[in-house]
Amino acid sequence: MLRDDTGGGGRRPSRNVLGQPLAGCSDDPLTGFFRNGCCDTAAEDVGSHTVCIVVDAEFLRFSKSRGNDLSTPLPQYGFPGLNPGDRWCLCAPRWAEALEAEAAPRVVLQATHEGALESCALSDLKRYAVDLS
């Protein structure tokens, strides 16, 4: 959740790219910058882990080719490795990079934090959405 900037001192629910309350992305594998299952963010999340993706083999190959092997488990860090079909909170700039390389994975808009819009166009995210009717 993000801090309430209205002066009330409380907290307000995080919003997704559609302006609605942010839905969870994945509890298995557990994802998110805060490892709470949500693509929530805060100032300390310099990578902007805000795009909820549905992993596919093409994206895993792309990410590995860019030096970020997401398929190999790292048990010492509690990372099980990702498989096609898993959902994961991806850094928004990496999703934009994958889009440019024609390797962008599908996106769950309801679980993609509005902060992703700093790096990604809503129209692009919608083109790759799995949850638009």
**5 domain residue, yes or no:** no
Contact 130, 33 (CB under 8 A): no
CATH number of the CATH domain containing 126: 3.30.56.110
In a domain, 114, yes or no: yes
Cα–Cα distance measured from residue 102 to residue 56, given in angstroms and rounded to the nearest whole number: 13
pLDDT confidence tier of residue 13, bands split at 50, 70 and 90: confident
pTM confidence score: 0.89
In a domain, 91, yes or no: yes
Q: Which residue has the tokens 């999703």?
A: 95
Backbone angles phi and psi of 54, in degrees to 5? -105, 110
pLDDT digits (tens, 9 = 90+) for 35-87: 999 999 999 999 999 999 999 999 999 999 999 999 999 999 889 999 999 99
Q: In sequence order, what E strands does the chain have?
A: 2-3, 11-12, 49-54, 87-91, 106-107
> Does the residue 59 lie in any domain?
yes
* Number of domains the chain is built from: 1
Q: What is the pLDDT of residue 12?
A: 66
Residue 82 counted as domain residue: yes
Please state whether the peptide bond connecting residue 93 to the residue before it is cis, i.e. omega within 30 degrees of 0: no
Q: Is residue 68 part of a domain?
A: yes
Q: Is residue 1 part of a domain?
A: no
Is residue 75 one of the residues assigned to a domain?
yes
Whether 7 has a pLDDT exceeding 50, the answer reads no
CB distance 96 to 53 below 8 Å:
no
- Give yes or no for a contact between 14 and 113, defined as CB atoms under 8 angstroms apart: yes
Tokens 């309801």 belong to which residue?
110
- Per-residue pLDDT reduced to its tens digit, 109-119: 999 999 999 99
Domain of 32 in residue numbering reads as 15-132
Q: Does position 28 have pLDDT exceeding 70, yes or no?
A: yes
Residue 31 has pLDDT above 80, yes or no: yes
pLDDT, residue 133, reads 55
